Structure 1
Amino acid sequence: MILCKLCLENFKRYVKFEIDFEEGLVGIIGKNGSGKSTIFEAILFALYGEFKDRGYKEIVRNANASTKDVVVVELLFEFDSIEYRVVREFRGKALTANAKLYKNGELITSGAKEVTASIIKLTKMNKEAFLHTLFASQKELTSLSNSKPEDRKRMIRKLLGLEKIDYIEKELIEKSRELKREISAFAEVLLSKEEKELKKEQIKQNLEAKKELNKASVIQGKELDSIKLKEIDIKKELEVFNKTKEQKQKLFGELELLKNSINSSLQNQSKLSKELEDLDNKQKEYKALEPIKQQYEELQQKLKEQTQLKEYHLKKEGLLKEQESLREQYKKIKKDLAQLEKECEGYEELSNKLKQINTYINQSKSTYQEIQTKEKEVNSKLFAEQRVINDTTAKIENIQALGRESSCPTCTRPLLEEYDNVINSLNGIIKHIQDEKITKLKLELKIVEESRKEWENSIQTQEKEQIELSNKNTLMLSKQKDLQELSIHLQTIEQKGKINNDELAKLEQYKYDENIHKALENSFNTLQPKYETLKSLETMLKRYINVKQELENTVKQVVSLNENYDKKEIDYKQIDYNEKNHQNKQKEFDEHIIKKDEKTAQLNKLNVDIATLEGEIKTVQASLDNDDKQLAKVQTKKDDLIDYDKIKISLSEFKTKLNSKVAPRISDIASSMYAQITKGKYQHIEVSNDFDFFIYDEGKKYPIERFSGGEIDLANLVLRIAISKTLNELSGSSQIGFLAFDEVFGSQDEARRMEILEAFHTIKEQYRQIFLISHEMEIKEMFERVVEL
């Protein structure tokens, strides 16, 4: 596997970044925080969708990117001479993941989990194996020799993936213990041989008892069936009695209902006859009052006409009064308008004057601010010069206090004969500042202060005038508004007066006489009670025809009901029903039911006893069946325990065989490289089965701690590379062609760095790409190729 190109977008510290990976020994150089390690985090992330030891959603997006910006990691690599491209994207606030894998430009897999699975299948390495095989840091290198034996052994076992076998062994031991506990627990609940025999005997006895009860149940069932057949015959006879009785009762009810209907119809006939007689009398009374109707309607129409004339009259009087009021308003508004027009004269002149004084005040304030700034500058200069005088005075006092043997405050040499000259020089400085600078600055400050006061007074005077003009302007604006409103109101009054005149002209044609109106009202009020009586009679007489028709119908109904009653009475008398015979048959039926219930209860008791025996048989049999099942489960767990023991033995043999291969292989690879790097000075590095390291010097074996720091660093380096190659071989990933080392130079001096670089140059033929990450800027000249961040 060879890395070709990495492209990042909004990934961690990179907004936009691309890097082409060269072959050979490549240095990736940059200061701390420049994003060196992020490049290899991105490679791991592109391949497996995860970081080294934490999740990604909280840190993957660039801090300056918004939730709308897409996070993209794209890696181009070559594997077995085939070009692959993997792209991972994260979108939205929730960072929804998506991934795609291309082979020679053609999409072959999509989906985050699917792409990760394809990468693992291709490289034959998961994330942990990839990290342990191809990446190493200075901390990991030094810990190979500096760690305690147990810690070193644990670290190398983790790199080799052996700790997973330890975990499986531990799990197997725990599972075996758990199975033994469960087998012991089962032994306590299983039935003994004696208990089984007793339960089988109990089942046999219950079956015999059940057989006897079944025989008795059959006899009782036959007797009950005989009783039920006789019950059916009696029941049929009872049904005939019941039907006859129901028929006779039904006819009796119908006769009673007809009798009530006849009585009700006769009462209604009497009532309708009386009502028809009353209506005949009312009809005579109505004919006597009928002439009043025409007279009443004529009076009603005349009253409506008088009411309309009265409305016109009242409206005319209202309009005349309103016209009088409008004339008064018109005169007053005309007078007020003349007064307001006179008061609003000179508004334009006042407005222009106010604008001028506003402009002048703004200009004056600007000049005043400039004078204030000038005053602050002069005060600042005075303060600075006074501070120089104070500092110089303090120096003089200090020198005088120390005497002629003191040092010069400027050059720090002893004063001696220069004492008086220094004192005089310092006094001269004070006098020069006092005479030449402070005097001039005070004079300048006085002029500036006077100018500031003059402008202050001028602005105050102008602001007073501005307030007066503003008040006058506001008052005049208010009067102009009143003038406009009065003009509109005058127009409204004129329009209203014109409309009223037109209305009055129309109303002149109508004349109203109040006396005529009152005379008509008196006549109407006198006639109205008679008219209301007439209307009441008219309403009553509308029922005359209906009542007459209803009376005729009622007479016919009474005749029909009487005929129907006679027929029903004949049918009722013809029904043959004997109440005493019915009661005797009912008594016989009730006694038979009691006998049947007694026989049913006896049969039910037999069935309950049979069911009880069956329940006991099932319970005992279930106990025996359950014991058989538990025995089967115990046997299964015993079989599992045997299998676990076999697996533990196999794993132990596998670990022994793996250790016997791994340690010698690491030793062979490391020895070959170390001899090449040290130019044959050291021929062999031994790795024990417990992963202790020894170096052979002139044929003798010594612990790695015996040698110098540079020799140990080189030994750690070749051991780490040997472990990587061994892991590569174990995983079957022979196509991995690069290594990456992070900060392997540490705080070593230049000679040590040269030795390490020389070691990498020695082994670079074995790998097409070796990447060294470092923050040491001065070593970048030592590399064939450099990527500077």
Structure 2
Amino acid sequence: MRINKIKLENFKIHKNLEINFDEKNIIIGENGVGKTSIFQAILFGLFGKDSLSSINISNVSSLIRIGSYNLNVELEISNGNTLYKIIRSSNNNGESKAILYEGNKVISSGPDIVNKKIREILNINRVEKFTDVLYIKQGDLGRYINLSGKIELTKLLEKIFDIEYYSLILKVVEGLIKDLEKEKEYKEKERNLLSKDIELYKNIFGDRDIDKLLEEINKYLELKKIRDNIYKDYLELKTLESGIDYNLLTQENYLNQKLKEYEEKERELYDNILNLESERKNLKYENYSKDLLNSSLEYLENRKKELEYLENVDEKELEYKLKELKEIYSNIEKYIEYKNIENEIKNIDNKKKELENNIIILENKIREEEEYLNILNREISECPVCKRALDEDLHKKLLNQYRESLNKDKENLNKFKNEKNNLDRQYQEIENKYKYFLYIQGKIKDKINLSDIENEKIRIEKEINEISYKINQINEYKIIKDTINYIKKNELDKVIDNLRKEYQNIKNEINNIRYSLMKIENMKKNLEKIKDIYKRNNLNSLKEFEDKLNELDKEIKKYENLKPELIKNYKEKLNMYNNINEKLKNMGKNINVLRSLYGVLLKYIEVNREKISKNLENAFKFYFKKLYRYQDIVDVGIDIKESKVKDEKLFYIYVIKNIDGKTIKKYIDEAGLSGGQIKILDLALRLAIASILNLNINVLLLDEPTESLDENVRLSLAQLISSLDNYQVILCTHDDLFKDNVEGKIIEIKR
């Protein structure tokens, strides 16, 4: 089987890449262009998620190109004329798909089914058989040779050649044998301790048969059980009989009759109390008089009868009428008080008019006087009034005269104005009173005769007194009535208290009778129990019970020396001893079976190791001679040696060196091989392993195989790979010397 072509989409660094492969292929390119990713893509295309551990990837999404949602890998492989195509895709949601074609026909789909089919086609039961052998990572060439003589090489080869499974079973069997041997040892110690205990019991009971001892014990226990049951019944019987009052039993009919009488009396008293409490509840006494409490009930009842005519009088209507009359009476008084207000208003109004005329006259006179003074204050030669000639003295005289007159008139004017202001205030006050008078007049004019106001006032006053008296009588009636109710309530309280005491006494008597009747019922039940106990034990008296118990005690005393608990323990120890013997017998059988199985497995593993070692050594020799072109090493081989660990074998790889014409066998750790020699030997060993595995895929994947090699070794490795038959080689390298000396197709990867 060879790889023809691979096509990548969004796989790691590669957005779109398609490569066609020849028999020999050299992948070149700068660092970081994704050369190693092509190997990872080939493995993923072949084996899907089963390849992740081999390429050091934890999940498929890590293979998807950054910034992309999904990847696609298309791998074309061929086996002779049969062409297969594998298409795999995965996305960031963890969803994966796979399809396998044979030619143009789909032969399987789904990741797991395709993986299974590919393993069948390639004859690989585990992916590691290819990835650990023919996929050689950078720095990995030489690993097998360097593990020579170490347990890691044994584990690696046993895993590759499927011996690991049997080695694991061998360890499980070995662990089981150890566990069983430990358990056997523990059981043997336990058996020895039991044996010592059994010897002690034999010293106590001698050679008496344990089963007979147990029969005697069972008989003893049975007698003891019978005795315990009879004694239990005896104690119960004594307790029950001590509680029987035969005198009380004879009074049952009398007590039932008495109970009926008392219950009837109880109901009667209860009804009376309820009725009296209802009567008391209906008594109203909110307005009772403490002063009247000392009066006799007869006097109060008589006074109440005298006032009963007022029972149905509407007090609220009277109060409303009284309020209305009082309001009318008040308005009459105010009407009489303000009756002469009209005359007062007229008098003030006349005074105001007179003052207003005087004020006008004075104001006119003052203006004239001020005008004359203004004229006189100027230099004039004649009087402005009489037009006569004025000298200086006369002029001064006139000025003084007018000034005095003006001042006097102003004083009078102020006086008149003040008087007028006072009259205005008086008028306003009287006018307000007059308005109120008219308001009062309007309210009462339709209710009384205004022309006979004094007699109307007397009539209204009389009606007020009559209604007030009537209301006082109604209040007196209420107080007397509530006081009577209060007295009755106190009397009812006393009666009810007495009835309650009587009721409680009756109730106590009833409870006592009921308790006695309950005791009678219990005694009757206990008599039945007593009867059953006697019948159950076939005895007729306490004396017979006591005799029976004494008889059983004598019988039980015969078995006192048996020590039942010791015998039980003795029997348990014997049973445990026998069980352990049986278990030890079975353990011995199981250990022998497991040891036999261990031997078979060990033999099988050793035979297969020898077989694999022999076949691997022959194949190793074949590929060594085919690949190694120098004379310093003439042969190679593989030895199997014992490890320091039990049943553990180690694979030692050796070389036959040609030193001065002599052949000397040297194991790898002492052979002093160069890095190039180790890599060539490692490649030969890997090809030998692959040939024995008989994989149906002859593809060798090499990632930077010339790392740390000198020029001559690199040239030798290039020639070796070029001459390698029956293997398709896909390698990547930075080494120009190596690249130029390998015959094959150059595949250059660019960014």
TM-score interval, smaller chain: 0.5 to 0.7
Deviations 1:494-524 (A, max 9, x none): xxxxxxxxxxxxxxxxxx9897579869989
How far 1:254 sits from its partner (Å)? 1.3
Q: Counterpart in 2 of 1:99?
A: 96
Aligned AA (1:180)? E
Q: Counterpart in 2 of 1:718?
A: 684
Q: Which structure dedicates a bigger proportion of its chain to helix?
A: 1
How far 1:183 sits from its partner (Å)? 1.3
Aligned AA (2:703)? D
**How far apart are the structure 2 equivalents of 1:583 and 1:691?**
104
How far 1:184 sits from its partner (Å)? 0.9
Q: Counterpart in 2 of 1:281?
A: 310
Aligned residues: 529
**How far apart are the structure 1 equivalents of 2:674 and 2:526?**
122
How far 1:25 sits from its partner (Å)? 1.4
SS in 1 for 2:724: helix
Aligned AA (1:757)? A
Task: Map 1:615-626 onto structure 2 (within 5 A).
Answer: none
Residue 652, structure 1, aligned to residue 573, structure 2: no
How far 1:48 sits from its partner (Å)? 0.6
SS in 1 for 2:54: coil
Compared CA separation, residues 579 and 212, structure 1 to 2 (3 A): closer
Q: Counterpart in 2 of 1:181?
A: 182
Asked if the contact 1:87/1:99 (under 8 Å) is kept, the reply is: yes
Q: Counterpart in 1 of 2:136?
A: 136
Unaligned runs of 5+ in 1: 92-96, 300-511, 548-567
Asked if the contact 1:132/1:724 (under 8 Å) is kept, the reply is: no
Deviations 1:607-665 (A, max 9, x none): xx9xxx99999877766665565555544543443233223322321232123222232
Aligned AA (1:716)? D
Task: Map 1:160-309 onto structure 2 (within 5 A).
Answer: 160=160, 169-170=170-171, 172-190=173-191, 191-192=194-195, 194=199, 203-216=214-227, 243-261=256-274, 263-264=276-277, 280-281=309-310, 283-284=312-313, 286=315, 288=318, 291=321
SS in 1 for 2:62: coil
**How far apart are the structure 1 equivalents of 2:18 and 2:615?**
36
Q: Counterpart in 1 of 2:125?
A: 125
How far 1:78 sits from its partner (Å)? 4.3
Compared CA separation, residues 59 and 253, structure 1 to 2 (3 A): same
Compared CA separation, residues 290 and 203, structure 1 to 2 (3 A): same
Residue 38, structure 1, aligned to residue 49, structure 2: no
Compared CA separation, residues 626 and 58, structure 1 to 2 (3 A): farther
Q: Counterpart in 2 of 1:693?
A: 654
How far 1:62 sits from its partner (Å)? 6.6
How far 1:135 sits from its partner (Å)? 1.7
**How far apart are the structure 2 equivalents of 1:579 and 1:709?**
116
Q: Counterpart in 1 of 2:699?
A: 738
How far 1:218 sits from its partner (Å)? 6.8
Compared CA separation, residues 208 and 8, structure 1 to 2 (3 A): farther
How far 1:181 sits from its partner (Å)? 1.8
Find the partner of 1:760 among 721, 733, 742. Answer: 721
Deviations 1:29-85 (A, max 9, x none): 2344443333334444524163238561599267954xxx54546453548744444
TM-score by structure 1 length?
0.51
Q: Counterpart in 2 of 1:14?
A: 13
Aligned AA (2:611)? K
**How far apart are the structure 2 equivalents of 1:759 and 1:255?**
131
Task: Please report the RMSD computed on the Cα atoms of aligned residues, expressed in angstroms.
Answer: 6.4
How far 1:744 sits from its partner (Å)? 1.8
**How far apart are the structure 2 equivalents of 1:120 and 1:155?**
23
SS in 2 for 1:691: strand
Compared CA separation, residues 647 and 5, structure 1 to 2 (3 A): farther
**How far apart are the structure 2 equivalents of 1:297 and 1:43?**
123
TM-score by structure 2 length?
0.53
Q: Counterpart in 1 of 2:27?
A: 28
**How far apart are the structure 2 equivalents of 1:629 and 1:21?**
75
Asked if the contact 1:136/1:741 (under 8 Å) is kept, the reply is: yes
SS in 1 for 2:185: helix
SS in 2 for 1:60: helix
Compared CA separation, residues 167 and 290, structure 1 to 2 (3 A): closer
How far 1:132 sits from its partner (Å)? 1.8
Compared CA separation, residues 249 and 208, structure 1 to 2 (3 A): same
Asked if the contact 1:6/1:20 (under 8 Å) is kept, the reply is: yes
Asked if the contact 1:667/1:687 (under 8 Å) is kept, the reply is: yes
Compared CA separation, residues 145 and 241, structure 1 to 2 (3 A): same
Compared CA separation, residues 626 and 177, structure 1 to 2 (3 A): same
Larger Cα-atom Rg: 2
Compared CA separation, residues 267 and 521, structure 1 to 2 (3 A): farther
How far 1:26 sits from its partner (Å)? 1.6
Compared CA separation, residues 787 and 208, structure 1 to 2 (3 A): farther
Unaligned runs of 5+ in 2: 286-299, 330-430, 445-459, 483-502, 535-540, 558-562, 641-650
SS in 2 for 1:102: strand
Over the matched positions of the two proteins, sequence identity in percent amounts to 15
Aligned AA (1:76)? L
Deviations 1:284-314 (A, max 9, x none): 4646556568889999xxxxxxxxxxxxxxx
Asked if the contact 2:638/2:654 (under 8 Å) is kept, the reply is: yes
Residue 662, structure 1, aligned to residue 621, structure 2: no
**How far apart are the structure 2 equivalents of 1:298 and 1:24?**
141
Compared CA separation, residues 236 and 693, structure 1 to 2 (3 A): farther
Q: Counterpart in 2 of 1:496?
A: none
